[in-house]
Chain A
Amino acid sequence: MFYREAGDFKTSYEQDSQTFPIKFDRFRYYAVLAIAFLVVPFVINDYWANAILLPFLIYAIAAIGLNILVGYAGQVSLGTGGFMAVGAYACYKFMTLMPEVSMFVHVLLAGGMTALVCVVFGLPSLRIKGFYLAVATLAAQFFLVWLFNRVPWFYNYSASGQISAPERDVFGILITGPNAPAWATYMFSLIFLTLCALIARNLTRGTIGRSWMAIRDMDIAAEIIGVNPLKAKLTAFAVSGFFIGISGALFFSVYLGAVEVGEAFGITKSFLVLFMVIIGGLGSIFGSFAGAAFLVLLPVILKVVGVDVLGWPTDIVAHFQLVIVGALIIVFLIVEPHGLAQLWRVAKEKLRLWPFPH
């Protein structure tokens, strides 16, 4: 009824090629942005920021990054945890080497550094693909974690090997450290997420994105029609690494404040982000958001329901969490193998015809 193209006339090419061609969709998108930027910062408290929204925003950035690599370019990667660690440690080194520079710059530089590292580890993708590439990126994961554990320069020779984020600001507003207000950390992460999502969305609609998808669908055919596989694969690794690096930097500096590489950026992190991408939907920006929300929020909701509302013992609830999240993952993969994004797509198709399906 509301959700349809009819009556929404486009008079220019810009209007015709915009991200949300349907009016209702467009206004919904503006409404989400308005709530996220103008309402949430005023009502947010420490619990909502640190336990729910920050992890969601940061994992969403990581999921977008991985989705570009796995979902759009078809290069399977199990090195996400290691690449996030690169972002975190690069951010830490920049924060301690150049304390007077704005936090914004540190995070961007950390993203750039991760992009470089990611390209280096992406070089094998030119010769190997599929499961073999997954193994090569797995090697990157273990190598990077080992490196940050092994070389004391990365953690500034601290006795415990932990890195802790000192207080840094943007325009005088504290972003990292314990005294940073909840709204500031939230806004900082939200701005990065919005920028990343916009960049990712527009890249995937343009030439580069189309060359990625061509490589994904059939690399030999893509080569024959003139897509340069070297350029396509390495740009995918670079862009993906940039986003993952940003998420790693935010994860360390804004969200946790102190990390230990083996615990925070281990292989489980790689799998967690990969699950987000798979559950959310491969090759979909919205899917990255949905997958991150699903895997961040569900354990918290189950905990609140089990412990606070029903008053069950904490260990039982923790075990149930594993069972329920695991079962839901299986159910989703069986019922909707294309992820939450596909559910959303189907819902939209149905909405277009509602209430008069033919």
Chain B
Amino acid sequence: MKLKLTTLALSALMAAGPAMADLVFPSLSYRTGPYAAGGIPFADGYADYFTLLNERDGGIGGVMTKLLECETGYNTEKGVECYESTKGEGALIYQPLSTGITYQLIPKVTADNIPLHTMGYGRTSAANGKVFSNVFNYPANYWNGASGVVNYLLETNGGDLKGKKIALVYHNSAYGKEPIRTLEELSAKHGFELLALPVDHPGQEQKSQWLQIRRERPDFVTMWGWGVMNQVAIQEAANIRFPMENFIGVWWSGAEHDVMSAGDAANGYKALTFHNVGRDFPVFDDIQKHVVETGKAAGAGDQIGTVLYNRGMYAAMLAAEAVKTAQEIHGTADIDAAMMRDGMEALEMNEEKMAGLGMSNFGPTFNVSCENHGGPGLVGVTQWDASSKTWSLISDFKPTDGDVIGALVAEDSGAYAAENKITPNCN
């Protein structure tokens, strides 16, 4: 009977959730399955930042935040279940950390008028805010990443890639296929040869791809991998003695756990990034003090300062700043999803703001507008040092090829608008 009462009381509480006027942030995380190694630190960072805001500042603008975690296992069907079960609770923003789930959610969030933030993943052409009103992918997207790789290689090779051969090892899914179009355009523009090598989910078997790399001898290898695929690829590259400094992963292929298993052989491996690395930021001291030491950390508290923890925290920070912007615009602390969308569209990230948060120079400065949901697309490069076990930023955030990307974004989003009969807004 007692249990029944508690259950009743609990379900009553849950039903009354929206009325309690918390700021609700669903976290569609994956702590299980083949992609958990990347999902766990991201989810921890995302959760810890909101806990920090509650503990230190008493929420955002005086309203407490509430995190609803839902396990997707990187599976689209579970992702849909998670979306449907959380959207009724006053969800302000969705960040699924999965390109597959993003594709499902794009039409759904637009119909339900909830913003979707796919930071550095998802559908690249969502950068065109005229067509994708509720989808944001600032500060950088896959096509910025593809162009970032090429720009970095141009820079380190005297501005000339003619006759060079670049191999792309990619996860054979929507995620991995995204950069191909841009790389094809760029290969025509800069005269390098592109060799695309798909790796099937989950990516534990890559012998044939790396055999082909050994045979074709590309000058550079770039990788669009995630989960266990990254570790395997770096190990295989080490096995065929491919020079690590010529191997550049996208930002989802450059975390500590990806390179650790290859040991010293991974030394010199490079990865892109759109935010800073390391834990030399005052905000981490606050997290240590207010979250970890009070026992409220989402994980074991050992992930702080790792690449993906930082990214999860960065995602939470951008969401929290968008909430503040929305609160200013609408003059109310208690915002809903539609107001949140306005806040995201008016978001301005500058150095002053980041310094105030204890995250000075953590990410690029940018402004979001109604037309541009993609931000500036500044991409930096990090390199792994196996002896000190740290990533360091070796190339600062630099602009990418806006002409090529802009044309591709316009083409792809135009096709989407025609297919779904969307009339562009932002007049």
Query: Is A164 part of the contact surface with B, judged by Cβ < 8 Å?
Result: yes
Query: Is A17 part of the contact surface with B, judged by Cβ < 8 Å?
Result: no
Contacts of A259 in B (CB 8 A): 76
Within 8 A of B (CB), among A304-320: 307-309, 313-315, 317-319
Contacts across chains A and B counted by CB atoms under 8 Å = 114
Within 8 A of A (CB), among B83-116: 84-85, 87-88, 99-100, 103-104, 106-108, 110-112
Q: Can you list 19 A-B pairs with a CB-CB distance of less than 8 A?
A: A50-B80, A159-B408, A160-B174, A160-B177, A162-B103, A178-B112, A255-B80, A256-B76, A256-B80, A258-B107, A260-B174, A262-B172, A263-B100, A308-B10, A309-B7, A309-B10, A314-B29, A318-B73, A322-B32
Checking B31, B111, B415 against A179 with a beta-carbon cut-off of 8 angstroms, the contacting residue is B111
Contacts of A55 in B (CB 8 A): 77
A77 CA to B123 CA, complexed, in Å: 35
Query: Is B181 part of the contact surface with A, judged by Cβ < 8 Å?
Result: yes
Query: Is A198 part of the contact surface with B, judged by Cβ < 8 Å?
Result: no
> A interface vs B, CB < 8 Å?
46-47, 50-51, 55, 96, 149, 158-162, 164, 166-167, 177-179, 255-260, 262-264, 266, 300, 303, 307-309, 313-315, 317-319, 322
Checking A159, A263, A300, A308 against B173 with a beta-carbon cut-off of 8 angstroms, the contacting residue is A263
A55 CA to B76 CA, complexed, in Å: 12
Within 8 A of A (CB), among B1-44: 7, 10-11, 14, 29, 31-32, 36, 40
**Known: A178-B108, A314-B69. Contact between A159 and B412, CB under 8 A?**
yes
Are B84 and A178 touching (Cβ within 8 A)? no
Chain B interface extent, by class: 35 or more
Contacts of A262 in B (CB 8 A): 172-173, 200-201
**Known: A159-B178, A318-B32. Contact between A178 and B107, CB under 8 A?**
yes
Checking B31, B88, B123, B200 against A160 with a beta-carbon cut-off of 8 angstroms, the contacting residue is B123
Are A164 and B107 touching (Cβ within 8 A)? yes
Are A263 and B71 touching (Cβ within 8 A)? no
Contacts of A257 in B (CB 8 A): 104, 107-108
Within the complex, the shortest CB–CB distance from B17 to chain A, in Å, comes to: 11
Are A177 and B107 touching (Cβ within 8 A)? yes
Contacts of A161 in B (CB 8 A): 173-174, 177
Inter-chain pairs besides A51-B80, A260-B173, A317-B71, 20 sampled, C-beta below 8 Å: A47-B85, A50-B80, A159-B177, A159-B178, A166-B420, A167-B421, A178-B107, A256-B76, A258-B106, A258-B107, A259-B76, A260-B76, A260-B103, A262-B201, A263-B100, A263-B173, A263-B201, A300-B81, A307-B71, A309-B11
Within the complex, the shortest CB–CB distance from A129 to chain B, in Å, comes to: 30
Query: Is B403 part of the contact surface with A, judged by Cβ < 8 Å?
Result: no
Contacts of A266 in B (CB 8 A): 201
Are B84 and A46 touching (Cβ within 8 A)? yes
Are B31 and A314 touching (Cβ within 8 A)? yes
The chain A residue sitting closest to B125, CB to CB, is A159
A107 CA to B308 CA, complexed, in Å: 43
Are A260 and B420 touching (Cβ within 8 A)? no
B69, B124, B172 pick with most chain A CB within 10 angstroms: B172
A214 CA to B281 CA, complexed, in Å: 74
The chain A residue sitting closest to B10, CB to CB, is A309
**Known: A178-B110, A314-B29. Contact between A308 and B14, CB under 8 A?**
yes
The chain B residue sitting closest to A266, CB to CB, is B201
Query: Is B233 part of the contact surface with A, judged by Cβ < 8 Å?
Result: no
Within the complex, the shortest CB–CB distance from B252 to chain A, in Å, comes to: 15
Contacts of B408 in A (CB 8 A): 159
A177 CA to B103 CA, complexed, in Å: 12
A319 CA to B33 CA, complexed, in Å: 9
Contacts of B421 in A (CB 8 A): 167
Within the complex, the shortest CB–CB distance from B426 to chain A, in Å, comes to: 21
A264 CA to B98 CA, complexed, in Å: 14
Contacts of B180 in A (CB 8 A): 159
Are B85 and A51 touching (Cβ within 8 A)? yes
Are A160 and B103 touching (Cβ within 8 A)? yes
Contacts of B108 in A (CB 8 A): 178, 257
Contacts of B277 in A (CB 8 A): none
The chain B residue sitting closest to A165, CB to CB, is B107
Contacts of A47 in B (CB 8 A): 84-85, 88
The chain A residue sitting closest to B3, CB to CB, is A309
A256 CA to B108 CA, complexed, in Å: 10
A78 CA to B100 CA, complexed, in Å: 24
Contacts of B75 in A (CB 8 A): 263
The chain B residue sitting closest to A99, CB to CB, is B419
Contacts of A164 in B (CB 8 A): 103, 107, 419
Within the complex, the shortest CB–CB distance from A265 to chain B, in Å, comes to: 11
The 5 closest A-B pairs by CB, nearest first: A315-B31, A178-B111, A178-B107, A160-B174, A314-B71
Contacts of B32 in A (CB 8 A): 315, 318-319, 322
Binary interface profile of B, 44-76, with partner A (CB < 8 Å = 1, else 0)?
A: 000000000000000000000000011101011
Contacts of A307 in B (CB 8 A): 69-71
Within the complex, the shortest CB–CB distance from B1 to chain A, in Å, comes to: 16
A303 CA to B75 CA, complexed, in Å: 15
The chain A residue sitting closest to B83, CB to CB, is A50
Contacts of B103 in A (CB 8 A): 160, 162, 164, 258, 260
Within 8 A of A (CB), among B325-369: none
Contacts of B104 in A (CB 8 A): 256-258
A164 CA to B180 CA, complexed, in Å: 20
Within 8 A of A (CB), among B368-407: none
Within the complex, the shortest CB–CB distance from A104 to chain B, in Å, comes to: 21
A324 CA to B81 CA, complexed, in Å: 20
Contacts of A313 in B (CB 8 A): 31, 69
**Known: A256-B77, A263-B76, A314-B69. Contact between A162 and B174, CB under 8 A?**
yes
Checking A51, A166, A308 against B419 with a beta-carbon cut-off of 8 angstroms, the contacting residue is A166
Within the complex, the shortest CB–CB distance from B328 to chain A, in Å, comes to: 30
Contacts of B69 in A (CB 8 A): 307, 313-314
The chain B residue sitting closest to A160, CB to CB, is B174
**Known: A164-B103, A166-B419, A256-B77. Contact between A50 and B174, CB under 8 A?**
no
A259 CA to B80 CA, complexed, in Å: 12
Checking B70, B87, B412 against A314 with a beta-carbon cut-off of 8 angstroms, the contacting residue is B70
Contacts of A319 in B (CB 8 A): 32
Within the complex, the shortest CB–CB distance from B356 to chain A, in Å, comes to: 33
The chain A residue sitting closest to B182, CB to CB, is A159
Are B31 and A318 touching (Cβ within 8 A)? yes
Contacts of B175 in A (CB 8 A): 160
Within the complex, the shortest CB–CB distance from A346 to chain B, in Å, comes to: 32
B10, B173, B181 pick with most chain A CB within 10 angstroms: B173
